[in-house]
Structures are given as structure tokens and as C-alpha cells.
């Protein structure tokens, strides 16, 4: 069955540094979502990517979907404490089910 | 205005009890979902409803029964609660099944003691 692999599982970066989180699938994705979860809170929708090669930005967060639609990366520029949390990638499978990666736990050091 | 709202936010109950979690969306979406997030933060889909009709029913115990009285509501009823049911349960909705982003509720943290 298709699964989403996220890497790294955990990430600790100094405030102000850039970072990248990856999400990889063995099969073509039909819609790729990035969510953020603050510890103990609900999920916040960040971005959705549908087309191969698509790139979207929101404030200091940029997400890209590769041409084959099997890999997405989330890039944060000049990280801030407010970026800390768990980042989840989710995607639609061919049968319309939504699946999620296991998440990347991001810590920002002051 | 809360798009997808779940109640209660926290639920602590004893083993063997029956409990319900309610979910309502005011987005006019056609599809609603229930997800379970375990202690390792992994989200797993449980059910999906489209216009009050069950679409996805993953392998979950029969003790879990979703009920959709109308398109805007999808409630989750759990019978004979077990310790392993402790988790955060998320409700979500989307406009068309599989085509747009899903909006999530805040989650219900269920603790079975």
C-alpha cells in the first residue's frame, strides 16, 4: 500500500537558520498537503500542491512538489520560535483516501 | 467562526463506558472524516462520509460507529471503551472527496482510565 515517508523525524535548528522537511511517496500523488500541529493543538492547513513542479509560499514557508508528483519539500527560511511544532504531509491516494506521513517534529532553539 | 468544530475537546472516561464525540462543519462541504492520532502522532483515517453516506470504513473495531444525521454533522460513537482507545480524534471535512484540502477540527483528546 502507498505510504508517505517524511524526513527527518525530528529536527532541531537554531533560530534564524533555514531548514527543509521532505515527504516522499513510492507512487504518484493526487494532491499533497502540508499541515502544522502545535503541540497539544489541532492541525493547521498550510498549503496544498496538485501539479507537478508546483511551488507555493506563505510568509517564510515554501513548499514544492516535484515534476513526478512523488516528492514534496517544505522549506522554512529564517526560522522563528513560532515555527516550532509537528509538520505533517498528507496526500490523496488513487482511491481518494487521505494518508499522512508520520510527521516531523521541529524544535527551534533561541 | 469555527469551520470544523468538535466537542468535547477533552474526554476522560472509564473503561467499559460508551461515549460520543460530535463534529460539525459550517463550510457546506460534502465529505467528512474521522481520524485517530496515536501517541506517536501518526494520523490514521477511520471513516469517511460523503453526503451522509459511508464511503470509507477502515478496519476499526465494531465498537466505533459513525453517525451522520445530515451533511454538516458526523458524530463518532464508541461503545465499551478500552484503554487502547486513548488517543486524539480529529474530525475533518472537504468540499469534494479527494479533490481539495481538508479542514480539520481542533481534535478531541480521549483518555480511557
Q: What is the pLDDT of residues A1-16, one digit of tens each?
A: 447 889 998 999 999 9
Q: Is the pLDDT of residue A101 over 50?
A: yes
**Chain-chain contact of A100 with B43 (C-beta, under 8 angstroms):** yes
A85-93 average pLDDT score: 83
C-alpha distance across the termini of chain A, in Å? 41
| Subunit contact A98:B103, Cβ cutoff 8 A | no
* Burial tier of A23 (Cβ tally within 10 Å: 0-12, 13-18, 19+): buried
In angstroms, the separation between the Cα of residue B81 and the nearest Cα of chain A is 22
Residues B14, B64 contacting (CB under 8 angstroms): no
H or E element in which residue A34 lies:
strand A32-37
Hey, is the C-beta of B106 within 8 angstroms of any chain A C-beta? yes
B111 pLDDT band, cuts 50/70/90, is very high
Mutate to test the interface with B, among A97, A101, A103 (most CBs of B within 10 A): A97
Count, residues in chain B = 113
Q: Which residues are registered as beta bridge partners of A5?
A: A24
Q: Is the distance from CB of B12 to CB of B108 less than 8 angstroms?
A: no
- What pLDDT, on a 0 to 100 scale, did the predictor assign at position B99? 46
Tell which residue, A99, A54, A51, A59, has the closest CA to residue A76. A59
Confidence of residue A29 (pLDDT cuts 50, 70, 90): confident
User: Nearest chain B Cα to A36, which residue?
Assistant: B104
More confident residue, B55 or B63: B63
- Output A82 or B94, whichever has higher pLDDT: A82
Would the CA dihedral through A103, B10, A83, A56 be positive or negative? positive
Contact between residue B15 and residue B82 where contact means Cβ atoms under 8 Å apart = yes
Q: A36, A46, A88, A98: best mutation site toward chain B, by most B Cβ within 10 Å? A: A98
**Mean model confidence pLDDT for chain A:** 85
Residue A8 is predicted with a pLDDT of: 93
- Tell whether the model's pLDDT for residue B86 goes beyond 70: yes
Looking at the partner chain, which of A42, A90, A96 has a beta carbon nearest the beta carbon of B106? A42
- Do residue A103 and residue B90 have CB atoms under 8 angstroms apart? no
- Distance (Å) from the C-alpha of residue A50 to the closest C-alpha of chain B? 9
pLDDT at position B64 over 90: yes
| pLDDT > 90 fraction of chain B, expressed in percent and rounded | 42
Per-residue pLDDT band for A24 (boundaries 50, 70, 90) equals very high
Mean pLDDT of A37-56: 78
A97 and B102: CB-CB below 8 Å?
Answer: no
CB contact under 8 A, B104 and A92: no
Amino acid at each position: 500500500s502507498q505510504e508517505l515517508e517524511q524526513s527527518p523525524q525530528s529536527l532541531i535548528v537554531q533560530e534564524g537558520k533555514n531548514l527543509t522537511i521532505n515527504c516522499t511517496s513510492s507512487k504518484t500523488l493526487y494532491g499533497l498537503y502540508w499541515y502544522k500541529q502545535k503541540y497539544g493543538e489541532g492541525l493547521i492547513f498550510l498549503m496544498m500542491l496538485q501539479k507537478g513542479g508546483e511551488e507555493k509560499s506563505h510568509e517564510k514557508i515554501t513548499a514544492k512538489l516535484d515534476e513526478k508528483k512523488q516528492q514534496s519539500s517544505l522549506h522554512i527560511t529564517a526560522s522563528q520560535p513560532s515555527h516550532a511544532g509537528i509538520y505533517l504531509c498528507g496526500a490523496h491516494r488513487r482511491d481518494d483516501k487521505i494518508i499522512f506521513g508520520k510527521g516531523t517534529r521541529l524544535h527551534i532553539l533561541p | 467562526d469555527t469551520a470544523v468544530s468538535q466537542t468535547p475537546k477533552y474526554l476522560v472516561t472509564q473503561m467499559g463506558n460508551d461515549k460520543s464525540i460530535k463534529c460539525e462543519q459550517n463550510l457546506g462541504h460534502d465529505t467528512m472524516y474521522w481520524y485517530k492520532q496515536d501517541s506517536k502522532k501518526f494520523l490514521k483515517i477511520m471513516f469517511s462520509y460523503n453526503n451522509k453516506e459511508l464511503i470509507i470504513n477502515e478496519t476499526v473495531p465494531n465498537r466505533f460507529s459513525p453517525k451522520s444525521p445530515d451533511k454538516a454533522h458526523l458524530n463518532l460513537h464508541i461503545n465499551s471503551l478500552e484503554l487502547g482507545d486513548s488517543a486524539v480524534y480529529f474530525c475533518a471535512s472537504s468540499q469534494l472527496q479527494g479533490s481539495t484540502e481538508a479542514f480539520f477540527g481542533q481534535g478531541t483528546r480521549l483518555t480511557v482510565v
